[in-house]
Structure 1
Amino acid sequence: MSVQTSTRGFAIALIAALSLLLTGCFITPGKFTSELVLLEDDRFTFTYEGEIFFLGLSSFAQMGAASEEFEPDECYDEDSFETRECTVAELAEQREVWEMNAPVRAAKAQEEQAQQMGAMMGGIDPSDPEASAKLVALLSRQKGWERVEDKGDGVFDVRYAVSGELGHDFMFPVIEGFPTTNPFVQIILREANLVRVNAPGFAAQNESNPISAMMGGLAGLSGMAAMADQRPNGGEMPDFPALEGTFTIITNGHVRAKNTDDGSASTERGEELVWEISPRTASAPTALIDLAR
């Protein structure tokens, strides 16, 4: 693959990332362990321990705000005013002007992105040096977030644990002021004590989780861009967290349907379903469980 191709591919990936950012799809798991316990008395316990990646707080997002390619203006014939091919000198002059104005464009793009992202991040401005600390404070004041530690570049190490009664649907994560468009796990209650569990955030290659699929592609593109020394703004590429973990459901109800590779196993705590999650995981974990007494 040529330098020009890899650079263009990386620019396209940046645009895709920003599109996801601006539609709210910008949170993804990293390395994690998650467990859901469902009991016949309508009690449940959910835990998530490990990494969560916020794309909007990463250096990659800041690169994307300023990333652009030079596109020359059309040149015209002075007599007929018809478009013609630009000369080498004309292209060089246009590029010189474009490069001279680059800092102004970059500053404007970052300001616009910060305003848009702030509206979706509970008022947190991602360009604020204290943005990560503010997110830690926001999560820490919400019930269930027992540990929130900033690992840098948009990655946070967390422990979330909550127990209660299944009186309504449940979704994780839910963050104050954030859109709820990128769930890791959903518990959906049906009639007759049926419970549907979906985990769209724990699959890397499905339409319901576009950001994880994008992250896998970006890892390869960023490597090519780095080797070709074509990194945006000459900066270093961030290390994207890998999607890697285990999702377990334990229940004393009746498992009517599941898509685990190895079925289920009987344990002292109940029937156990286990999904091993990796960048190759194509299908989101799902199960239908009957909790009728």
Structure 2
Amino acid sequence: MMHWIRNLALLIAAPLILTGCLFTPGQFVSTLTIGKDRSFTFTYKGEVLAIDLEGMSDGLGGMAEGDTVKDAADADSTDDDVKPGDAPQESPAEKAQETAEKKAKRDAQLREIATQLAKEPGYNSVQYLGDNKFVVDYSISGTLTHNFVYPFNQDAAMVLPWIAIELRGKDTIRVKAPGFAKQENVGGEMTGSRESKASGTFTLTTDAEIVSQNNEDGSKTAGGKRVIQWNVTPISKEAPTAVLRLNAR
């Protein structure tokens, strides 16, 4: 069982490693309105950060299942064969040029991602500001006859959604926003834990019955509807979650 779970984690993480980045929220305001008639509107306005994962796959790619870090280090050790001065060293100027070239290549890739995302339904605007930062204005409306996730774009390797709406039975849905909480691991040992930079609010508004929710402040009434607002910080550990009961299909 654990072997299967590990393989699944590797399959999910593989596109992220290949593109060399993981997309996470920065400063944002996000809202979700769900009607008991199954209508919904989701919005996200704010920053999207591309976290560089380059090199992390190299450090783990050669390790077989069951190997330890010490085993890998011992296998790579060539103290008996390589002596100081045998390998040519890059000059500071060469290193700076190499760094600049890598940054230019990454910026070009991320600008292209911005161009492609702007063509997707729901994206009112997508701007790449440089330094691995986008500014996004996204809003979409529909009917919950199927599950919904955001973001999801295979070409840009956005395969780890920040929010998911899952239909459960004939009259129940679960809303969960793992992207708005600190993630200890992404893809298991492929990427390890990373510092969250998410900062903002996620607000759920509904006229449906709230079966459960995990906001310690509970819900409030506004305009005849129930409103739950989660304040998200870089140290938030619990993903915003709510279960609602809608009109049966």
TM-score normalised by the chain length of structure 1: 0.62
> Could you tell me which residue of structure 2 aligns to residue 255 of structure 1?
210
Q: CA RMSD in A?
A: 3.8
Secondary structure at 1:183 match in 2: coil
Alpha carbons of 1:129 and 1:160: their partners in 2 closer, same or farther (altered >3 Å)? closer
Alpha carbons of 1:290 and 1:208: their partners in 2 closer, same or farther (altered >3 Å)? farther
> Could you tell me which residue of structure 2 aligns to residue 39 of structure 1?
35
- Give the AA of the match of 1:33: V
> Could you tell me which residue of structure 2 aligns to residue 87 of structure 1?
none
> Could you tell me which residue of structure 2 aligns to residue 142 of structure 1?
120
Secondary structure at 2:229 match in 1: strand
* 1:91-117 per-position Cα deviation (integer Å, ceiling 9, x unaligned): 4324xx15259979x98xxx9xx9xxx
- Of residues 214, 221, 229, the one that matches 2:194 is 214
Task: Within 5 Å, give how 1:25-104 maps onto structure 2.
Answer: 26-56=22-52, 73-75=78-80, 91-94=83-86, 97=87, 99=89
Equivalenced residue count is: 214
- Of residues 13, 16, 22, the one that matches 2:17 is 22
Which structure shows the higher helix fraction? Answer: 1
Distance 2:234 2:106 in 1: 31
- Give the AA of the match of 1:244: S
Alpha carbons of 1:72 and 1:93: their partners in 2 closer, same or farther (altered >3 Å)? farther
Shift of 1:143: 0.6
> Could you tell me which residue of structure 2 aligns to residue 239 of structure 1?
none
Distance 1:62 1:22 in 2: 7
- Give the AA of the match of 1:274: Q
Distance 1:98 1:275 in 2: 54
Alpha carbons of 1:266 and 1:208: their partners in 2 closer, same or farther (altered >3 Å)? farther
- Give the AA of the match of 1:149: Q
Sequence identity (%): 28
Is the Cα–Cα contact under 8 Å of residues 41 and 139 in structure 2 kept in the other structure? Answer: yes
Distance 2:18 2:239 in 1: 21
Distance 1:45 1:212 in 2: 33
Is the Cα–Cα contact under 8 Å of residues 201 and 232 in structure 2 kept in the other structure? Answer: yes
Shift of 1:21: 3.8
**Can you give the 5+ residue segments of structure 1 that lack an aligned partner in the other structure?**
1-17, 77-89, 115-125, 217-241
Is the Cα–Cα contact under 8 Å of residues 31 and 204 in structure 2 kept in the other structure? Answer: yes
Is the Cα–Cα contact under 8 Å of residues 185 and 192 in structure 2 kept in the other structure? Answer: no
Larger radius of gyration: 1
- Give the AA of the match of 1:290: R
> Could you tell me which residue of structure 2 aligns to residue 228 of structure 1?
none
Task: Within 5 Å, give how 1:220-235 maps onto structure 2.
Answer: none
> Could you tell me which residue of structure 1 aligns to residue 174 of structure 2?
196
Alpha carbons of 1:194 and 1:62: their partners in 2 closer, same or farther (altered >3 Å)? closer
Shift of 1:19: 8.3
**Can you give the 5+ residue segments of structure 2 that lack an aligned partner in the other structure?**
1-12, 60-72
- Give the AA of the match of 2:25: P
Distance 1:158 1:286 in 2: 23
TM-score normalised by the chain length of structure 2: 0.72
Distance 1:49 1:212 in 2: 28
